[in-house]
Every structure is written in C-alpha cells, then in structure tokens.
C-alpha cells in the first residue's frame, strides 16, 4: 500500500507549542493510528496540518504493508 492510497474521512489534530516549535499530532479516529511531527510556527496551521496528514498517510500505509493487510 502506498501513502497516496490511504483515504482519510476525518483527521483529529492536537497542537502543542514546545519552546520555539509546534508539535502536531494527527489522529485517524477510525483506526486510532497517530502520527507526530514537529514544525516551525511560521509555516502556519494549515501547512502544518497538510504535513501532518501526509505523515499520517505514510504511517498508516507502512503499518498495513508490514502486517500484510
């Protein structure tokens, strides 16, 4: 499975400022799988969300590929 094959209906986000960076957690509520990334606040919330979704798709695809689903 490739990351672009992963279809997400809904994604939950958590944003935490840690020093000079923002820690973004993206969660797929259907599977409970989450991806965490760190970025600079200067990129803005929407750009950080897009990056977090991209990483979440990667994590989900990798997990499904490893388990042969």
Q: 10: helix, coil or strand?
A: coil
CA distances for 23 relative to 52, 60, 65, angstroms: 10, 19, 27
In the chain, count of helices (H) and strands (E)?
1, 3
List, run by run, the mean pLDDT of 10-residue segments along the chain (69 residues): 87 96 97 96 96 95 79
**Number of C-beta neighbours around residue 50 at 10 A:** 12
């Amino acid at each position: 499975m490739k990351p672009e094959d992963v279809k997400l209906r809904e994604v939950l986000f958590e944003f935490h400022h840690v020093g000079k960076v923002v820690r973004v957690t993206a969660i797929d509520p259907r599977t409970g799988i989450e991806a965490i990334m760190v970025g600079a606040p200067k990129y803005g919330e929407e750009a950080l969300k897009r990056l977090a979704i991209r990483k979440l798709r990667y994590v989900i695809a990798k997990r499904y590929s490893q388990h042969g689903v």
